Chain A
C-alpha cells in the first residue's frame, strides 16, 4: 500500500498539485520539520535516480557503440589500408590520389575480368582446345569415310618431275591405281639416296590406307619426318584418320585436337569440323 504522505510529496515535487493544495503543503512545510526532512529525502532519492539514469544511459550508449564499432572498425581498417596505397601523404594537406597506380590497376582488373569472361579474346586457340571435343566410337567409321581422300597431286603434277620413276608413281597415284603406285614407290624408297622420300612415304601411307591396310599405313606415315614441315602436317592428318579407321578414337581425338588448336596447321579447319561432328 502506498503511503498517502509519500504520494502527496511526490505530487508536490512533480508540480502536479492544484495551486490551493500546493500552498497548503508549503504552509505545512514551514512549520513541520519532519515533513520538511521527508521532502528532502524524497528529493535526494530522486537525485540518486537521476545519477543512476545518467549512468545507465552512458553504459547503454557505450555498449551499443562497441557493438557497432566491431564491424565498422574492420571496414575502416580496410579503407585505411587502401588509402595508404592509393593516397600520396602530404604534410598538413589532404593526400593526393595516385592516379597512375589507380589507372594501371584498373586496366589490369578490366583485363582480368575480360579474360575470365572470354579467354578467347587473349588466346584464340584456347577457345577451341577448351571445348571437350571427342570422336565417339560409333562415329569413327562415318568420320573416316567422310574425310578420307587421297592426296590431290594436280598442282604438283604441273611441272614434270625430273625423276621419271617418281613421276610414274605420282601418275599412278593420281589415276587411283594404288597397287601399281605402291610397287613403284617401294622401288624408290629402297634407294637410300632418293631425295623425295617424305613425299613418297606420304603417298605410300595414303595408298595403304586406301587399300584398307591401316596398320601398315600407320607405320609408313609415322616415318614422315617433322623436318618435312607441310608434308609432316599431312602425315599427322592421315595418322588421325588411320586411328579412326582402327577405331582408336581416344588417340584420334587427341591428335585432332592438337591439329585444330594449331592455327597454322594446314588441316586445322578440317580437324575442327571433324571434331564438331558429334555436337
Chain B
C-alpha cells in the first residue's frame, strides 16, 4: 500500500481507517526495538507506549488534514518525540494535576492537549483553549479537558464508545454490527440519545456550578452568538 492510499483510508474513517492503522502498526513495529529500546534506552513497554502514541497522533494529524509527505518519516519522528517525552517524565514532575476533578487529566499525555489545541481555528476546543499567557493557557486547557472528561465519565462506557465510533466515520450499518443493534434505526436512535445525554450532562454541570467547567460554561452562556 502506498502512502497516498493509506492517507486516503485514514481520512475515510471507519473500517478502512482501522485497516490502515493495523497495517502501519505492523510495518513499523520494529521501531520499538530499533529506536525506542536501542537508541533511546527505553524499556520494551515504554517504547511500545511511545510507538502507539505516535500512531495515534499520526492518525489524528491525517484526519485533521495535515499534509504528510512521508508516513514512515513522520512515524519515526513522532515515535522519537514520544520517547523523549517518556525520558523527560522520568526525571521531571509535570504540572498536569492541579485540578480537583474526579476524572484525572494527569493520565493524558502532553501531546494530547497540543493535538486538541491545534484543531482548526474554528473548532470549539481550539477557541476555548486560546490564551495569551502560556501558563494560564495550560491551566485553561486542563480545566476544559477536566470538564469534558467529567461529562464523558457520567455516560456509560458503551454509549461513549458508540458516539466515538460514529465520529470516527462508521456508518449506521457498521455501528449496528459493531454494537449488536437489531436495526440501523436503533443505532441511529442510540446515537441521537447519546448526544442528548451528553448535552444534558454538560448543561447540568454548568447549572451545578462545577468549578472545573467554569470556562466552558461561561462560553456556553455568552449572550452573543460565538
Contact A49 B163 (CB under 8 A): yes
Contact B199 A52 (CB under 8 A): no
Contact A46 B124 (CB under 8 A): yes
Q: Does B221 contact A (CB under 8 A)?
A: yes
With A30-B225, A52-B152 already in contact, the answer to whether A45 and B220 are too (CB < 8 A) is: no
Q: Does B202 contact A (CB under 8 A)?
A: yes
Contact B202 A52 (CB under 8 A): no
Contact B199 A51 (CB under 8 A): no
- The B interface, classified by DSSP as helix, strand, loop or mixed, is helix
Among B52, B198, B221, B226, the most chain A Cβ lie within 10 Å of the Cβ of B52
Contact A37 B160 (CB under 8 A): no
Contact A65 B167 (CB under 8 A): no
Contact A52 B48 (CB under 8 A): no
Q: Does A61 contact B (CB under 8 A)?
A: yes
The interface-forming segment of B55-63, B67-75, B171-179 is B55-63
Q: Does A117 contact B (CB under 8 A)?
A: no
Number of contacting residues on B, CB 8 A?
A: 55
Contact B125 A45 (CB under 8 A): no
Q: How distant is the Cα of A39 from the Cα of B5 in the complex, in angstroms?
A: 36
- Bin chain A's interface residue count: 35 or more
Please encode chain B, from 1 to 35, with 1 for each CB lying within 8 Å of some chain A CB and 0 for all others.
Answer: 00000000000000000000110011001001100
Contact A54 B25 (CB under 8 A): no
The interface-forming segment of A69-77, A124-132, A171-179, A193-201 is A69-77
A-B contacts, 17 listed (Cβ < 8 Å): A36-B222, A36-B226, A41-B199, A41-B202, A44-B216, A45-B198, A45-B202, A47-B125, A49-B198, A50-B119, A51-B125, A52-B161, A52-B163, A54-B116, A57-B59, A57-B60, A61-B52
